[in-house]
A and B are shown apart, each in its own frame.
Chain A
């Protein structure tokens, strides 16, 4: 079964650029696309990035995604206080016929 590993926390100051990583335990990331969600507990998750690096309409270009080998990254530039949230990478697992979420990264804007 797939597993995705994220750092539990990340931080930055307003205006900075931060990167959140997501690594897989096998070839799952290499062979499947990664999606990223932003989640403020108690509210609905919001899709930030799909298919590794595509932004849905309405998501600012401060958010970008990339993938290389068995790892993927979400970058947030021009950090703002409202970016404080939990960020999750997600991948489709064909063996499960379901999605696997990373453990989430709590982003703090100092």
Chain B
């Protein structure tokens, strides 16, 4: 069974930094692209970032480009999101998700339960 467990969400001041983690199990982690998606009541679900199975390709939503960095450690079956220069509008529940098919970009089919990031003065 696929399991994705996010952690690292806390309350942080605007301008602060934070690193989210996602530990994966139940599938061959290094064969799959992974993504971060966030949810806030104001914006709904919003794609944040993607990383390919071998970390050779990364991409970001315009709203986080230059501030967030996605990475992965395949030896630890772990996905990360380094968040800097945080803004109040980054407040959201952050999900990690696995792509449906290996070695491709198809669609996210398995999700974690999320970790809550609150950016507040």
A43 CA to B112 CA in the complex, in Å?
9
Q: Besides A44-B112, A45-B45, A86-B44, 8 other CB < 8 A contacts?
A: A41-B39, A44-B95, A45-B37, A45-B108, A99-B37, A99-B47, A101-B44, A104-B45
Q: List 20 A-B contacts (CB under 8 A).
A: A35-B107, A37-B45, A41-B39, A41-B41, A41-B93, A42-B114, A44-B111, A44-B113, A44-B114, A45-B37, A46-B111, A50-B109, A56-B109, A86-B45, A92-B105, A92-B107, A98-B50, A98-B60, A99-B108, A104-B45
Q: How far is the CB of B79 from chain A (nearest CB, A)?
A: 15
Tell me whether B59 and A39 are in contact (CB under 8 A): no
Q: How far is the CB of B13 from chain A (nearest CB, A)?
A: 24
Tell me whether A43 and B44 are in contact (CB under 8 A): no
Q: How many A-B residue pairs have CB under 8 A?
A: 66
Chain B residues within 8 Å of A44, by CB: 95, 111-114
Residue of B nearest to A96 (CB): B59
Q: Mark A39-66, 1 if CB is under 8 A from B, else 0.
A: 1011111110010000010000000000
Chain A residues within 8 Å of B108, by CB: 45, 47, 99
Q: How far is the CB of B38 from chain A (nearest CB, A)?
A: 10
B46 near A: Cβ within 8 Å? yes
Q: How far is the CB of B105 from chain A (nearest CB, A)?
A: 6
- Range for the number of chain B residues in contact with chain A: 20 to 34
Main secondary structure of the interface of B (DSSP, over half): strand
- Range for the number of chain A residues in contact with chain B: 20 to 34
Within 8 A of A (CB), among B34-65: 35, 37, 39, 41, 44-47, 49-50, 57, 59-62
A65 CA to B28 CA in the complex, in Å?
30
The 3 closest A-B pairs by CB, nearest first: A97-B59, A104-B44, A44-B111
B87 near A: Cβ within 8 Å? no
A90 near B: Cβ within 8 Å? yes
Chain A residues within 8 Å of B19, by CB: none
Tell me whether B46 and A47 are in contact (CB under 8 A): no
Within 8 A of B (CB), among A63-100: 86, 88, 90, 92, 96-100
Q: How far is the CB of A58 from chain B (nearest CB, A)?
A: 12
